[in-house]
Structure 1
Amino acid sequence: MGDDDVDQDLLAFMRKALGLDPSETKAHPTTKVLESALYIFDNSIDVALDRDCVMQAAETIYNAMQKKAYGTSTWSEQELHPQEKNEDTLNFIFTMDVLNFSFWSGLEDEKRFSVDYGGKRYTGYWSLVALLRRALDEGIPITCPYFWVDPTICSDDLLAHVFRSATDEQIPLLQERIECLREAGEVLCERYDGRFSNCVKEANGSAAALVVLLSDEFTCFRDEHKFEGRRVNIYKRAQILAADIWACFNKKSYGHFTDIDSITMFADYRVPVILHALGCLLYSPPLEAHIKAKKLLDTGHPWEVQLRGTSIWCVELIRRQIQKMHPEAGNHINAILIDFYLYDTAKEMERNKEEMIPHHRTRSIWY
């Protein structure tokens, strides 16, 4: 080999040592949720967007979020959310989001499924948080995967006790919740040494990787559907799990994700209501009549997929408009925080009895 020749073996060794070997470079993970949302929006005939209203809503939402100082700290300011920043809290969040679905009721507030805890009565999402805290206070290790998978100590009857209601209406989809807990426990115990923290560690600081891992490993997080001949990913609960970790740990420790902005809004039945009230979402007459009549809408129905997918794309357009008009917002405002604000606002309008279209009624484990 002459003086001017390159030692390719040495060069390859140096590249690998410095982490520059192209064969060692992993592609950035992607959830394909945003791509799915755009595909749904582009092919929707029953749900549309009013772009002028979307632009106006962006300014309204930005100003309101600034006034209320919306940020990751907002999560921990909720009195029922755990305040400690440790693995026990991480386990609490995982358990919570394994079970975080389908709380709507056709009954009046005083008759719907409720949980009494700490001298207060809670409904909806907060009833779930309250019942988990109640169980822990009673000495039931409800956030432990090894507990979920052992029917001798964690019987269906005991879980029914954990989910008990303060009213005659029981929690919706009780059996499905029990099945989700047991399946999640089996996966964690068999593949991750019974620790959800090992899933977070495997994601290696990527929120998207965590969402993909959850949807791949746990069928109860696999929120995938067929729409117009194509599989679409929505991943509401997997995404909100990543977001809850990010917000709870205030972007640090378990909550340090380098790609948190890859997470979209969380397509449920509440946020479309506020987007419709803002004039952003427009419904076809048949769909609007169906929703106003409070008729059930099957999971995976084209109307339901359009509602969820178009809501995701709507919030994405709002996010882009905010960053365009207010570049100083930078990474301070993303789809997660916009979703938190919209959800809280919808609940506030509901409490104030403000006139809004009803939420669509789909009973499923996906939201």
Structure 2
Amino acid sequence: MDEIAFNANNVFISAKDVDHMVWELKSYLFQNYHKGNVDEVLYNLSRFTRDYHPDKYDHMAADWLFVLNTMNFALWNPKNTKQWTVDELTGYQALCAAIKRAIDNDMPIWDPSYYTKLTQCNLEIIFKSDDGETSIPLIHERLRILHQVGEVLLRKYEGSFKRCIQLCENDPLILMTTIVSEFESYQDKPTYDSKEGNYYYLSYVDLYTKAQTLVSDIWFCFKGHELSFDYNPTLMESTIFADYRISQVLLHFKVLKYSKELMTKLENNEPLEYGSAEEIEIRGCSLYAVELLEEVMLQTCHDFMKNNNIKNEIGYKTLIDNFLWDYRHAHDQLLMETQPFPNIKCVYY
């Protein structure tokens, strides 16, 4: 991600404000330490809730998480327009609520034998909004993708994503590779104009945000279960785009800064194309900002962690992810009033 950050023309990282944001992260860590929640913010995924996620011993758990992550894209309408809501929740949480509601209403949305036969009318019922009028974005694409992934599971994996995990031999690298190679809607690999010296060349950027999030969810859900595997920081290091409004938090803390041209586009709700330079720079610079924040946290929190016998085997990226997620939800109205977010209709995140 550093190459994107160094060559970006529209998105910039403020090193000074990285240091300022570290104070917020330290405060978040210390507050949770004194509350007895330090393991939760260092290891847990804040977005993972008992109310809307499966138990690891539920027979449908793996397939439930697969459908949830497969549908986790384009969940926001442009700023200042009506948002899709379920149980008065928005974004990723609304998606979780809709899928849980369908399962509770005896709609086996976790079963590919069921969702490969869905019609658009069926899917509109499953994703019905609180007001009965606002549709989930990209409903046609969602139906097409469910049909596609379901056909792969039925043809190759005995109709179950659980079987797919089992065949990956508890290896997150094999699982990640399998997800990306087998399922088209996880192949998040746009091209980007890179620069080396005076030469420009086209390169692929392996972002794979949705696949990373799915692997992380499987790891977290199935700890201590037969489907469990060891945490792999290289593959699962940051999943901040589980909700692409997270970039608002980095903008709020001035860690990210946008060019005047990009800021005008975002403030006017102009759509950004998937794979455009601006879209890739927002994602790449956001991920690189997390890397810089982690570096400073490693340097400044070492003594505190050691003196309090706190083990951090995973690294600080999970802490940063949890902070960004929690801050976005705690200050939702403030962020909506003060910070723009990208208007992107994309099936990858």
Which interval holds the TM-score relative to the shorter structure?
0.7 to 0.9
| Cα contact 1:263–1:336 (8 A) shared by 2 | no
Matched, 1:90 2:55: no
| Alignment CA distance shift 1:73-1:258 (3 Å) | closer
Partner of 1:54: 18
What amino acid maps onto 1:245 in structure 2? I
TM-score (norm 1): 0.80
**Cα distance change, pair 323–113 in 1 and its aligned pair in 2 (3 A):** same
- Aligned residue in 2 for 1:364: 346
Deviation per residue, 1:112-161 (Å, 9 max, x gap): 32224xxxx22221211111111112111110112222x2xx33322222
- In the alignment, structure 1 residue 276 sits paired with structure 2 residue 263: no
What is the aligned partner in structure 1 of residue 31 from structure 2? 67
* RMSD over aligned Cα atoms: 2.3
**Other structure's SS at 1:345 match:** helix
Aligned to 2:325: 343
Assess if the C-alpha contact under 8 Å between 1:49 and 1:282 holds in 2: yes
The residue number in structure 2 matching 1:12 is none
1:100 is aligned to 2:75: no
1:213 pairs, out of 166, 171, 178, with 178
CA shift in 2, pair 1:265/1:146, >3 Å: same
Q: Percent identity?
A: 24
1:207 partner letter: P
Please point out which of 144, 164, 169 is paired with 1:199: 164
Are residues 74 and 293 of structure 1, via their aligned partners in 2, closer, same or farther at CA, if it must alter by over 3 Å?
closer
Unaligned runs of 5+ in 2: 194-201, 306-310
1:39 is aligned to 2:12: no
Cα offset for 1:239?
0.7
* Structure 1 CA distance for aligned equivalents of residues 80 and 16 of structure 2: 36
By how many angstroms is 1:355 displaced?
5.0
Q: Once the 2 structures are TM-superposed, how far is the Cα of residue 258 of structure 1 from its aligned partner?
A: 4.0
1:213-250 per-residue CA deviation (whole Å, 9 max, x = no partner) reads 21111000011101011011111111111111222234
Of the three residues 117, 139, 164, the one matched with 1:174 is: 139
How far, CA to CA, are the matches of 2:50 and 2:16 in structure 1?
A: 34
Alpha-carbon spacing, 1:263–1:107, altered in 2? closer, same or farther (3 Å): closer
The structural deviation recorded for 1:267 is 5.3
Deviation at 1:333, TM superposition (A): 3.9
Residue type of the alignment partner of 2:265: H
Contact (CA 8 Å) 2:186, 2:208: kept in 1 or not?
Answer: yes
Q: Hey, what does 1:32 align to over in structure 2?
A: none
Task: Say how many residue pairs are matched.
Answer: 323
Shift in alpha-carbon separation, 1:201–1:171, aligned structure 2, 3 A: same
Q: Matched residues in 2 for 1:227 and 1:155: separation?
A: 36
State which of 32, 44, 52 in structure 2 corresponds to 1:80.
52
SS of the residue corresponding to residue 57 of structure 1 reads helix
| CA distance in 2: counterparts of 1:276 and 1:353, whole angstroms | 9
Q: In 2, Cα distance between the equivalents of 1:122 and 1:340?
A: 19
Instruction: Verify: 1:290 aligned to 2:262, yes or no.
Output: no
Q: Do residues 245 (structure 1) and 210 (structure 2) align?
A: no
Instruction: Give the greater-gyration-radius structure (CA).
Output: 1
1:181: how far off?
1.0
1:107 to partner: Cα distance? 6.9
Matches of 1:323 and 1:283, distance apart in 2: 27
User: Could you say if the C-alpha distance between residues 199 and 40 of structure 1 is closer, same or farther in structure 2, counting changes exceeding 3 Å?
Assistant: farther
Rounded to whole Å, the distance in 2 between the matches of 1:267 and 1:189 is 31
The one-letter code sitting in structure 1 at the alignment partner of 2:326 is D
Aligned mate of 1:303, from 248, 257, 278: 278
Gaps of 5+ in 1: 1-36
Separation in structure 2 between the aligned mates of residue 190 and residue 204 of structure 1, nearest angstrom: 20
Corresponding residue for residue 95 of structure 2: 128
- Structure 2 residue matching 1:245: 3-state secondary structure: helix
Task: State the distance in 2 between where 1:50 and 1:107 align.
Answer: 25
SS at match of 2:227: helix
